[in-house]
């Protein structure tokens, strides 16, 4: 694998297992600074720091995404 990753992801057996902060920022349309701030404030998904590199396990990213899901119908019922 070259030093430039395919979309910032580490591949294992053809499956993307980890995202670097560039790939996650692209996935969510955020700046890298936002991810850095979240890490500083202990917000956002769990991350790994390996050899000075920040990596996010795909399972942690997907779990964080699922936890952010909101049901608009439930919100409408609560305010009605």
38 occurs within a structural domain: yes
Quick check: is 77 in a domain? Answer: no
Which CATH number covers residue 56?
Answer: 1.10.10
User: What is the domain extent for residue 31?
Assistant: 7-70
The verdict on residue 78 lying in a domain is no
10 touches 16 (CB < 8 A): yes
Residue 33: inside a domain: yes
Looking at the structure of the chain, the number of domains it has is 1
Measured in whole angstroms, how far is the alpha carbon of residue 63 from the centre of its chain? 9
pLDDT along the chain (80 residues), means of 10: 45 73 97 97 96 95 94 72
Q: Is residue 24 part of a domain?
A: yes
Does 1 reside within a domain?
no
Q: What's the pTM?
A: 0.71
pLDDT of 1 reads 38
- What's the pLDDT at 4? 42
């Amino acid at each position: 694998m070259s030093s430039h990753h395919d979309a910032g992801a580490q591949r294992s057996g053809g499956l993307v297992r980890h995202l670097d902060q560039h790939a996650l920022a692209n996935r969510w349309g955020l700046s890298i600074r936002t991810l850095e701030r979240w890490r500083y404030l202990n917000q956002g998904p769990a991350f790994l720091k390996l050899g000075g590199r920040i990596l996010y396990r795909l399972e942690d990213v997907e779990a964080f995404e699922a936890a952010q899901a909101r049901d608009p119908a439930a919100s409408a019922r609560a305010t009605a």
